[in-house]
Amino acid sequence: MPECPECTRSASGMASLLTQHMKDILMATVACLTIALTGCSAETPAKNEPTPTDTTTANKVAVWVTNGSQSKLFKNENALSVVKAGSVSPSANLISIDFSTKLQEMEGFGAAMTGSSAYLINQKLNASQRQNLLKDLFDPQNGIGMSYLRVTMGASDFSLEDFTYNDLPAGQTDAALSKFSVAKDQTDLIPVLKSVVALQQGIKIMATPWSAPAWMKTNGKLAGGSLKPEWYGAYANYFVKYLDAYQKEGISIDAISVQNEPLHEAAYPSMGMDSAAQGKFIGQHLGPLFKSKAVKAKILLYDHNWDRPGYPISILNDPQASQYVAGSAFHAYGGNVSAMSEVHDRFPDKGLYFTEISGGRWATNFSDNLKWNMSNIFIGTVNNWSKNALLWNIALDENDGPKNKGCDNCRGVVTIAADGSVTKNVEYYTIAHMSKFVRPGAFRVQSGRLSASSQLEHVAFLNPDGSKVLVVLNQGGDNKKFTVSIGENQFNYTIDPNAVATLVWK
**pLDDT for the residue numbered 54:** 55
Q: Which residues contact 3 (CB under 8 A, 6 or more apart)?
A: 406, 407, 408, 409
Q: Name the 3-class secondary structure at 262.
A: coil
Q: For this structure, is 427 an active site residue?
A: no
**pLDDT for the residue numbered 87:** 83
Helix axes 127-138, 189-199, angle to 10 degrees: 50
**pLDDT for the residue numbered 55:** 54
Residue type for position 232: Y
Q: With left for phi above 0 and alpha for psi between -120 and 50, is residue 200 left, alpha or beta?
A: beta
Q: With left for phi above 0 and alpha for psi between -120 and 50, is residue 23 left, alpha or beta?
A: alpha
Q: pTM here?
A: 0.89
Kindly name the residue from 3, 43, 107, 356 that is annotated as catalytic.
356
Beta bridge partners of 461: 444, 469
Q: Quick one: CA dihedral 237, 292, 259, 297, positive or negative?
A: negative
Backbone angles phi, psi at 353, to 5 degrees: -135, 135
Residue type for position 368: D
**pLDDT for the residue numbered 57:** 64
Q: Distances in Å between the alpha carbon of 435 and those of 91, 111, 140, 165?
A: 29, 11, 8, 32
SS (H, E, C) 81-147: ECEECCCCCCCCCEEEEEEEEEEEECCEEEEECCHHHHHHHHHCCCHHHHHHHHHHHHCCCCCCCCC
Helix (H) or strand (E) holding 360: strand 359-360
Q: What is d(CA 113, CA 390) in angstroms, rounded to the nearest whole number?
A: 11
Q: Name the 3-class secondary structure at 400.
A: coil
Domains of the chain: 48-104+444-505 (2.60.40.1180), 126-437 (3.20.20.80)
Q: For this structure, is 261 an active site residue?
A: yes
Q: Name the 3-class secondary structure at 243.
A: helix
Residue pair 146/138 in contact (Cβ under 8 Å)? The answer is: yes
**pLDDT for the residue numbered 194:** 98
pLDDT in tens, 457-502: 999 999 999 999 999 999 999 999 999 999 899 999 999 999 999 9
pLDDT in tens, 31-64: 333 333 333 333 333 344 455 555 556 689 999 9
**pLDDT for the residue numbered 236:** 99
Mean pLDDT by 10 residues, the chain (506 residues): 38 36 38 35 38 63 98 97 88 95 98 98 98 97 97 98 98 98 98 97 97 98 98 98 98 98 98 98 98 98 98 98 98 98 98 98 97 98 98 98 97 97 98 98 96 96 98 98 94 97 97
| Helical spans, DSSP H, in 297-455 | 310-316, 319-322, 338-346, 366-372, 380-383, 426-435
Beta bridge partners of 500: 66, 473
Beta bridge partners of 457: 473
Kindly name the residue from 3, 43, 77, 261 that is annotated as catalytic.
261
**pLDDT for the residue numbered 3:** 40
